[in-house]
Amino acid sequence: MTAPADTDPQLTSWVPSAQGSPFPIQNLPYGVFSHDEEEPRVGVAIGDRVLDLAALAWANLLEVPKAAQLFQATSLNPFLGRGRWTWQTVRRNISDLLSGVDPRLREDSRLSERALLVRDELTLHLPFQPGDYVDFYSSLEHATNLGRLFRPDGDPLLPNWRHLPVGYHGRSSTVVVSGTPIIRPRGQRRPEPGGIPPFGPTEALDIELELGFVTGPGNTLGTPIPADRAAEHIFGVVLVNDWSARDIQAWEYQPLGPFLGKSFATSVSPWVVPLEALAPHRVPHRAQEPEPLPYLRTTGDWAFDIDFEVVLQPAGGEPTTISRTNARRLYWSCAQQLAHTTVNGCAVRPGDLYASGTISGSERGTEGSLIELTRRGAEPLTLSSGAQRTFLEDGDTVILRGVAGGGGRPAIGLGEVVGTIAPAPT
């Protein structure tokens, strides 16, 4: 994919805070915000500001039909449903306005004051309403790490893993925006042989660092989306923490897969980064052996060079970075995930969320979950305060961060996903 002109590293904005920010003019991620008692509406992050797209629409600065209806909406779904031509047109309009190529916003002081809002003074909401949520298992290193923990004397990968993107259908009603407290879930756990399963709060609450993608127009029921047409249907990416209750999951998941151990909360960043913003950070996909079946074959670069950081902060304590990793080594790409999801004719709709599964590396300190970092609890992590963790305790805060950049190019931030653990209900 050739990088579009609006990702030119020399492009600058007249918004002072944009330069050196994770939200420079080359990024322009979309979100939903509200100010004071006003209704939520759609905006774009630029530096430490949010550009109110509804205000631009009312000023007739956006060259798409019925723009006000799109951006006064309380989610991105109507915009996502318009498709690639609308996405590209609006992005070009915004880039021109914020760079000064189109001077109308910069020269209208009353409009710019009304449309450029201080981000810290706003409330950020879930940016899209996912009708469906699918979680994959796309990291070879993660799958291998877990396989060695659970099957130490066998092949760490199950026979199907290298032939298809393994996934499961999650619960979209508990997809929440960053900052939402995570209530410790309750459920059954594995009993002693011949015993009754104990019921209560999970004792193995975990994180999963993931990269998600959000869909646009979708397809009609019964019509697959070819892998090489995925860019027509994938609007952008979000940072995801797919929280997991490992002890609940271990008891329930056979034979049908995860249920209560996963469905209690999935946190996403408030910003959706368009695929166009990541064009300069797309890299060749890792080799796949054996070669995938024809419907899973792609052309072009579908891996993303995005660095991730996982931070754990106990209540009243200092934050500790517990993992650093990168998305470029994911085995199954988002294009392949979408093609596999729809090859049976499954219908995709605007705002559906698809997550990569835990992103891990093969080296210590690059794992994207506590179950890997602590070797299933056998090797506790020591935090900067001296406290130790195998799994999360009440009051712990987890912060995920993602940034693409380097090589002389501006950083493209995915924002943060923050969640603090609240006690289980009594």
Q: How many CA atoms lie within 13 A of 56 on its CB side?
A: 29
Q: What is the gyration radius of the CA atoms in the chain, in angstroms?
A: 22
Are 203 and 185 in contact, with CB atoms under 8 Å apart?
no
What's the confidence (pLDDT) of residue 405?
Answer: 87
Q: Would you name the residues annotated as active-site residues?
A: 142
Question: What percent of the chain has pLDDT above 70?
Answer: 99
pLDDT in tens, 113-157: 999 999 999 999 999 999 999 999 999 999 999 999 999 988 999
pLDDT in tens, 231-266: 999 999 999 999 999 999 999 999 999 999 999 999
Residue 242 CA, chain-centre distance (Å), reads 10
Q: How far separated are the first and last CA of the chain, in Å rounded? A: 53
Give 363's DSSP letter: S
What's the confidence (pLDDT) of residue 426?
Answer: 86
Mean pLDDT, the chain, integer? 96
Tell whether the model's pLDDT for residue 1 goes beyond 60.
no
What's the confidence (pLDDT) of residue 265?
Answer: 98
Q: What is the mean pLDDT of residues 336-340?
A: 98
pLDDT in tens, 361-411: 999 999 999 999 999 999 999 999 999 999 999 999 999 999 998 778 999
Q: Which residue has 């910069």 as its token pair?
A: 106
* pLDDT tier at 2, thresholds 50, 70, 90: low
Give the pair of three-digit tokens for residue 330: 């994911």
Give the pair of three-digit tokens for residue 147: 């396989």
What's the confidence (pLDDT) of residue 406?
Answer: 74
List, in sequence order, the alpha helices (H) in 47-193: 53-58, 67-71, 77-82, 84-99, 104-107, 109-115, 140-150
Tell whether the model's pLDDT for residue 3 goes beyond 90.
no
Bond from prior residue into 380 cis (ω within 30 degrees of 0): no
